[in-house]
Each structure stands twice: as C-alpha cells, then as structure tokens.
C-alpha cells in the first residue's frame, strides 16, 4: 500500500484549496500550511483532526518537523477508537517522540477503556505490570485489597469502594534503580483511581455519569508520567501510590452523615458521597508521607470547579510551597503543556466545616460552592506536611474531553505526562 505522507510548508496553500486553507493534498498525501506568525502548533492540531476524520490507517511524517510539531500532530491525530499508526520523522528526535507517544497511548487506553473492563484491581495490576515491563529489575509492588484496607487503616479507599462487588485497592509500587534498599525516595506520586463514579448516594445525573470512566485519569496520568521518565533514563527512587475504587450504590455503600477517622486522627463527616476522590487521596497522601520523599505530587480529576475555572485547556496547580509550584510550572512551560496555578492557603483547610467532625469532605451545596477546587485542595492539605512543604496537588481539568474539539479528539488527552516526567527527572 502506498504510504500517506504528511509534510509541513511555510507557504500558503494555492487559492484552489480555499482562503487560508490548513491543508492541501497530492496523490500521495497532504501538506499542512503553517501560519506566518506563531509556532504553528494550533494549526497542526486542527489539521491533524481533519486528517483523522478521513480514517486513514497510517501516516508518515516527512520533511522538516520539530519535536513539538510532531507531538502536536500525535496528540490530535490519535483518536480513541482504532487509532491510526504514525511513523515519525527519522531525525534526532525520533527516540524521544516515540517514548512520549508510547506513554501517551498507554495513558489514553487506560482512561478510555470501559468501566466494566477496568475494575480497581485491573487498573492497579495493569499499571504495575506496565511499569515493571519497562525496568523489571528495578520495580517491585504490592496491593492491599478489600477488607485488608480496613485492617490496615486505609479507611478512605475502603469506604468509598465498599459499595461495589469489586473490591477497592491501594497499589504501592517502588521504582528503585539504585540497587540500594535504603536509598532515599526522591518523589512519591499519588493518583486518584476511581474506575467509575456514580456519585454514590449523592447520585449524578445520567449525563453527568456518562464520562465517569475517566475518573481514574489521575492514576493513569501519574503512571504514564513515571513510565515515560523511566524510559528517559530516570535514575532516582520513586514510589507510586494508586488509590483505586468504584463509587457505587448498594446496601453496603458508605452514606451521607458517616464520620470517617483516618490514620492520622483526622475525622471527616461525609456530606457528599460524590466528593469521594479526596477521601481516597487522603490515604494515598498519608502513605506517600511515610516514605519521607522530598516531593509528593498527587493528581486527580477531582473537581468540576477546576473545569469551570480553566475549561478543558489547563491543569490546575495547587501548592503552599512556592519552590515546588514554580518548578512544576517551569517544567510545564518547557514541555509545552498548559498548567495554571490556583489559590491555596492554610485557611482553605477550614472551608468545609462540620459540627460532627474535624472537617466535612465538602460543603453541602452543588459543586461544593464557590472556590470548590481550592477547598478540595485545602482538605487534602490535612494529610501532608502541615505547612505543605514539598507537596503539589494537580486537579486535571484537561485530562478528558467528553466531546471532540477542533484540536482534540474525544476521550483521554494524556496531557501532563511530559511535565510530570520532567519534574521527576529534576529531582535527582
């Protein structure tokens, strides 16, 4: 079969293709016409979406493509169902772009899979096996499952997941390339892995529930980022914690008005069973803190409030540590990924008051009320260093697109894996 080639041009398309045409075609492929000003990335993404709509089985990028141009094309051309094959340019960036692309494919596949296929145990197992396949001798892992969670005191994950017949899981994975069992942990990653979120007794609408297979996007993103960093030569010790559960309704499900007592003594009144992500992340953050890692990063599709603030274009960054927040933002800028800081202060810890416990898990109003994303981050701040030193919370507003756009396909984006991988490599 003749290869379908895609090249770039700095000259406009001939008038026959229309005014300011993104694309022109030849017998063997297409040319993307870059604008006179700017980096051309948006143009490449829009052209890639149009080409993807032609259901071409595979394309070959030819000519002069910079790394970011190839990455922009890959992000937009790779649809969720039966994605086409991309043959990247055989230049100095080929190994790097292939590493990023494989991590993107893994991350997107994990998020886009059906909730029936992706149980909490399946999510934990697939994440662990993929990471181990990248560096078999440096990776070990364990899983705490079902009633074992209650016995071990991981009551957030246990209670959120106990309404399902498929048990919740805490995955602890240790990537230690040093060979020294006493090597310090430089970074601990924590991911929200809610494989399906009905909202529990605070049940979502049918429309609101449709895309809730994506509520494990945080777990997928930190796993994809760690895998990418390993393929890029990460040489420091990192631990990964995935907090995996299904939030379903049953006679055994947790209820509004329940009070949970965490391992660190914090008591939490459940005023919204649909604010479950922060309940599971609390366990993961405490487990991460036990490693004495110099950096703790958690990632979650946590609040609709972050999406209201930033749309589906940026990930929200929260930290009370100016140094690590700036490091995250600098990595994102260097990797051409969109991250944006939102406010987090000590007093956000108290923005969800409860007369029955130290705190509630939200405010008893739709979406948690004004400042909901910051209030959720404030809740999480109770489970890390009291001053927030060395901790970053990412609310992944750009992790998933329920509807396709002119630039992005429907489904998981995998945006963020490059920036987090870069931050991991920085910690050495």
Instruction: Give the catalytic positions in this structure.
Output: 204, 278
Helices (H), 232-311: 277-289, 304-310
In terms of C-beta distances under 8 Å and separation of at least 24 residues, what long-range contacts does 365-369 make, across chains too? 367/303, 367/304, 367/305, 367/308, 368/272, 368/275, 368/303, 368/305
| Residue 47 φ/ψ, nearest 5 degrees | -65, -40
CA dihedral 93, 225, 340, 38 (to 10 degrees): 10
Angle at 84 between CA 83 and CA 87, to 5 degrees: 135
Q: Report how far residue 362's alpha carbon sits from residue 364's, in angstroms, rounded to the nearest whole number.
A: 6
Q: Is 135 helix (H, G, I), strand (E, B) or coil?
A: coil
CA dihedral 348, 349, 350, 354 (to 10 degrees): 130
Give the residue from 187, 387, 197 showing the smallest Cα distance to 298: 187
| Residue 424 φ/ψ, nearest 5 degrees | -60, -45
Q: Report how far residue 356's alpha carbon sits from residue 104's, in angstroms, rounded to the nearest whole number.
A: 44
């Amino acid at each position: 079969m003749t290869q379908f080639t895609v090249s770039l041009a700095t000259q406009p398309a001939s008038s026959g293709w229309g005014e300011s045409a993104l694309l022109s075609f030849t017998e063997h492929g297409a040319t993307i016409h870059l604008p006179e000003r700017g980096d051309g990335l948006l143009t490449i993404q829009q052209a890639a979406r149009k080409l993807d709509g032609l259901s071409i089985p595979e394309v070959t990028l030819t000519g002069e493509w910079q790394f970011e141009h190839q990455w922009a094309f890959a992000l937009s051309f790779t649809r969720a169902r039966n994605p086409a094959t991309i043959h990247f340019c055989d230049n100095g960036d080929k190994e790097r772009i292939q590493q990023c692309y494989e991590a993107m494919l893994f991350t997107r596949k994990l998020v886009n899979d059906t909730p029936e296929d992706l149980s909490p145990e399946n999510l934990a197992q697939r994440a662990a096996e993929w990471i181990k396949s990248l560096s078999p001798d440096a990776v070990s892992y364990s899983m705490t499952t079902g009633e074992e969670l209650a016995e071990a005191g991981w009551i957030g994950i246990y209670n959120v997941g106990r309404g399902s017949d498929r048990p919740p899981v805490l995955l602890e994975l240790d990537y230690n390339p040093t060979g020294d069992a006493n090597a310090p942990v430089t970074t601990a990653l924590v991911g929200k892995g809610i494989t399906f979120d009905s909202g529990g007794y605070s049940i979502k609408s049918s429309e609101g529930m449709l895309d809730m297979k994506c509520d494990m996007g945080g777990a997928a993103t930190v796993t994809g980022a760690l895998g990418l960093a390993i393929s890029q030569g990460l040489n420091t010790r990192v631990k990964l914690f995935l907090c995996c559960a299904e939030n379903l309704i049953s006679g055994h499900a947790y209820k509004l008005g329940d009070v949970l007592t965490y391992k660190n003594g914090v008591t939490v009144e459940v005023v919204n069973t649909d604010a479950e992500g922060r309940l599971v992340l609390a366990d993961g953050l405490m487990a991460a803190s036990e490693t004495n890692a110099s950096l703790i990063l958690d990632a979650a599709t946590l609040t609709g409030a972050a999406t209201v603030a930033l749309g589906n274009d940026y990930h929200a960054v929260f930290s009370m540590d100016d140094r690590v927040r700036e490091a995250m933002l600098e990595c994102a800028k260097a990797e051409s990924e969109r991250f944006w800081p939102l406010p987090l202060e000590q007093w956000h810890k108290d923005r969800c008051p409860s007369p029955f416990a130290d705190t509630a898990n939200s405010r008893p109003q739709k979406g948690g009320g004004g400042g909901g994303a910051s209030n959720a981050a404030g809740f999480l701040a109770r489970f890390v260093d009291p001053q927030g030193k060395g901790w970053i919370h990412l609310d992944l507003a750009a992790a998933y697109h329920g509807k396709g756009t002119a630039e992005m396909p429907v489904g998981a984006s995998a945006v963020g894996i490059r920036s987090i991988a870069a931050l991991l490599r920085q910690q050495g």
